[in-house]
Structure 1
Amino acid sequence: MRGIKFAARNRGSVRDVTPTHAARQAADDPLSSASKIASLIATAARLRQSSGSPLRGRNLALLHTHTRADGTPGNSALQGAAEELGARVALLNFAHPSSPADTGSDVIALARMLGRMYDGIDCHDLDAAVLRTIELHAGVPVFPGLALDTHPARVIADLWALCERQTPADRRIVFIGNGRRPRARMFVAAARAMGVAILPKSRVDPGAEDASAVADASQPRHWVLWFEGSAIEGDALQENHRRVMQAVLVHTLAGA
C-alpha cells in the first residue's frame, strides 16, 4: 500500500473473513427501534453491575488520524471500555495518502487486511469517504467513532441518565437548544422511539412542573443534563456512556 501508513500496537492474530461477519455490519442503527434501544440499555445496566469478560478472544482495531508527540496513536475511552470486557485492542494511526489517486485502492487493501486481523474496526475521526470504503470492504463490523458524541451510543447514554431517574409514567424531558444539530436529532428520535415526551423550550423556569428532567444543549459541545434542579455529575454521565459503548460492542461482536 503505497499511500497509506499506519502504526499499530497489540495486534490480534490473523483471521479469515466469513459471510457471517460481512452480514453483521455495525452500520445497523442502534436507534432503529425502541426494542433495540431498550435492549442496549438493559445490557448496559447488567454490565454496570458485573462486567465479566464477554469479549474475551475478540480483537478490536481503533483507527485514529491524531497522534501523540511520539508518533503513536492517542489513547481512547473506547480502548478502556473494550479491554475491561476482555477484548484485545490495537491502536492504529491512520495517515491519509499523499496522492488522492492512491486513496481508493489503498484503502480497500487496508480494509481487507484489517478484516482478516480483527473482529471489529472503529474509525474514530476518519473522513466519511474513507469510512464508507472500509465499511464496504472490511467484511467485519465497522463503527463510525463509537466514543464520539455524534454516535448514537452517546445519546442513548444521555437518555438513560434522565429516564432512570423518572418513573415510566412520568418520563418527559425538556430540551433546550438547536434541535436540528445531529446529536440533538438523534436524542429526540431516541426519546420519542421510547415513548418519552420531548418539550422543546428556549429556556426553563427551574420551578416549572414540567422541568424535572432537562437536556440543556444550548452549548452544543457541552451538554448539561439536569434533574430536579441539579446537574447530573459528569462522572455519572461518562459511566453511562462507557456502559452503553460496551453494550454496543457486546451486541455487535459477541452476538448478545
Structure 2
Amino acid sequence: MKHLLKVTDLSIDEIGEVFRLAAAYKRNRAVTPKTLEGQSWGMIFYKNSTRTRVSFEVGLHELGAHPLVLSSSNTQLSRGESVADTARVLSRYVHGLVIRCYDHSILEEFASAGNIPIINALSDFTHPCQILADLFSMAEKWTEGDDFLAALAGRKVAFLGDTNCNMANSWLLAGAHLGVNVALGGPESLAPGTEVRSVLAAMGKSVDGHYFTDPHIAAQNADVVYTDVWVSMGAEAEQEARLQSLAPYQVNASVMADAKPDAHFMHCLPAHLGEEVSADVYEGAQSIVFDQAENRLHVQKAILSLLAGK
C-alpha cells in the first residue's frame, strides 16, 4: 500500500508513469478505462474547495468508482472522535481516502492508523496533487512525445510571493526530487520554514541558492514564473501585513521581462488580480493557468490508478 502525502512519496519512475497515464487519459477522456470499477473512495474536506473537490469527484466517477464526499463538520470528527478511530472505521468501508486539511499531521495519522491509501488533497505543508499537475502542464508544453521527465530536466521555475506556504514547499521538494531548478523570491519574514528545511536536509538538499529576497534575481532566465495567493485560508488575520510585505513580489510585466521570452506564467488558483499577479500577465499569452486547472483532473486520475494498483 502506498500513500501520497508529499511529492517525494512517489519514485521518479512512478512520477513518469503518472504523467504517461495522465497524457493517455487526456487524449481520450471518453474511453477512460474503469480501473477503479466497484470501488468506493471517501473524500474528507476540512477546507473549502473548488478545483480539488470537482476534479477528484469527477475523476473517481470516470474511473468507475463511487466518490463519497464528506466534510469534517458533518462527521463525528466535529464531535471529538479521534482521527485514528475515524481512519480505522473508514478503512473497513472505503478503498481509499482523499483528504484536504490544515495540519499535515492529520494526514500522517490517517495513513498510520488506517490500512487504505491516503491522498493529500492539500495541507498547510504541501500540495502534491497540484505540483504534479503543474509539472505535467509544463512538460506537455515542451515535448511532442511521452518523455515528460526529460522535458523537465534543467528547467527553471521562479516562485514569487509567500515562500513559506504549501506551494513553495511543494516546489522545493519537487525540484530537489526531479532536478528542476527552483528559485523562490519572497520577503525574509516569509522565508522557507523549518519543516521543509528538515525534509530537504534528509534528502541531502537545502534551500541554499534557491531562496532570494530580490524577485528579479529569482525570475532571471526562468522558464516558468509561478505565484499563489498572498493570504491563504487560515491566514486572514495577517492580511494587511501580508499585502504590504508581499507587494514587491507581484508578478507583472516587469518581472516577466526578467524571465525567458517564451516563459510561461502559472498560478494554482484562485487568483486575486492586482495582488499577486497583474491582470495583463494573468490574461496574457504566456499564461497557462487554465491548462493547469484542467490537468488536475487527468493527473489525479493517474494518481488514483497508480495508488489503487491498477
The alignment status of 1:26 with 2:3, answered yes or no, reads: yes
Q: Give structure 2 stretches of 5+ with no counterpart.
A: 144-150, 186-214, 220-253
Percent of counterpart pairs with the same letter? Answer: 20
**Number of the residue aligned with 1:11:** none
- For 1:155 and 1:197, the matched residues in 2 are separated by 14
Change (3 A) 1:54 1:211: same
Q: Per chain length, whose mean CA-contact separation is higher, i.e. which structure has more relative contact order (CA < 8 Å, sep 6+)?
A: 1
**Number of the residue aligned with 1:142:** 118
**Number of the residue aligned with 1:110:** 86
Answer with 39-48 or 164-173: which moved more. Answer: 164-173
The alignment status of 1:151 with 2:127, answered yes or no, reads: yes
**Alpha-carbon shift at residue 170 of structure 1 (Å):** 8.0
The alignment status of 1:175 with 2:158, answered yes or no, reads: yes
**Alpha-carbon shift at residue 128 of structure 1 (Å):** 4.4
- 1:76-116 Cα offsets, whole Å, 9 max, x none, are 33111111111111122333444xxx543xx4333222111
CA contact (8 A) 1:174 1:213 kept: no
- For 2:152 and 2:58, the matched residues in 1 are separated by 36
- For 1:149 and 1:230, the matched residues in 2 are separated by 31
* C-alpha RMSD of the superposition: 3.6
**Number of the residue aligned with 1:52:** 33
Q: Give structure 1 stretches of 5+ with no counterpart.
A: 1-23, 68-74
The alignment status of 1:165 with 2:141, answered yes or no, reads: yes
**Alpha-carbon shift at residue 148 of structure 1 (Å):** 9.6
Give the TM-score, by structure 2 length.
0.58
CA contact (8 A) 1:55 1:250 kept: yes
Change (3 A) 1:147 1:245: farther
CA contact (8 A) 2:98 2:121 kept: yes
- AA partner of residue 244 (structure 1): V
- For 1:169 and 1:128, the matched residues in 2 are separated by 28
Number of residue pairs matched by the alignment: 217
More strand by share: 1
- AA partner of residue 96 (structure 2): G
- For 2:123 and 2:105, the matched residues in 1 are separated by 19
- For 2:123 and 2:292, the matched residues in 1 are separated by 13
Change (3 A) 1:56 1:148: farther
**Number of the residue aligned with 2:297:** 242
Alignment of 1:7-22 (within 5 A): none
CA contact (8 A) 2:39 2:66 kept: yes
The alignment status of 1:89 with 2:89, answered yes or no, reads: no
- 1:131-158 Cα offsets, whole Å, 9 max, x none, are 4433222211122226999421111211
CA contact (8 A) 1:111 1:137 kept: yes
Change (3 A) 1:237 1:27: closer
- For 1:129 and 1:91, the matched residues in 2 are separated by 21
- For 1:164 and 1:208, the matched residues in 2 are separated by 23
The alignment status of 1:79 with 2:57, answered yes or no, reads: yes
Secondary structure of the residue aligned to 1:164 is helix
Secondary structure of the residue aligned to 1:230 is coil
Give the TM-score, by structure 1 length.
0.68
Answer with 240-249 or 132-141: which moved more. Answer: 132-141
Secondary structure of the residue aligned to 1:165 is helix
Secondary structure of the residue aligned to 2:134 is helix
The alignment status of 1:38 with 2:93, answered yes or no, reads: no
Answer with 243-252 or 193-202: which moved more. Answer: 193-202
- 1:41-83 Cα offsets, whole Å, 9 max, x none, are 111111112322111112101123469xxxxxxx633111111
Secondary structure of the residue aligned to 1:117 is coil
- For 2:172 and 2:86, the matched residues in 1 are separated by 36
